[in-house]
Amino acid sequence: MGNRGLHVEEKKGKQRTLLGGEVSYHTVTGISEGNYRLTIHLEPGPVRAQLVIHANSSEKAARAAKRLRSLGFQVDVEEERISATKKRPSLTNIWEALEAAEEATRR
């Protein structure tokens, strides 16, 4: 399986709110340079996934968008760029979203 050639980064920290409180955040991001970026927001809850894909063609973008919608993602498409989000994704959802991104960016 491997990591699909992704550069993975993890960020944790705290951020001040406008009212003076503190909010913890925790994200994990996987980037396939020039192709797609998957970010999973672990804190603050609920867990959510964001995926941005730069497809090789508008046809591949349309196929990936259809697949992501079937997985329950909210999807926006602008030509070859896809932006998708999902609250409370399962690991299967994330895996299938990565497969859709790989297919959309494959030459």
Task: Write down the pLDDT at residue 68.
Answer: 97
Domain containing 39: what range?
27-105
Give the residues across from 15 on adjacent strands.
Answer: 23
Q: Which residue has the tokens 């494959």?
A: 106
Is 34 a member of any domain?
yes
CA distance 74 to 50: 10
Q: What is the CATH number of the domain that holds 41?
A: 3.30.1360
Q: Which of 50, 56, 53 is nearest to 65 (CA)?
A: 53
pLDDT in tens, the chain (107 residues): 445 678 999 999 998 989 999 999 999 999 998 899 999 999 888 999 999 999 999 999 999 999 999 999 999 999 999 999 999 999 999 999 999 999 999 88
Is 2 a member of any domain?
no
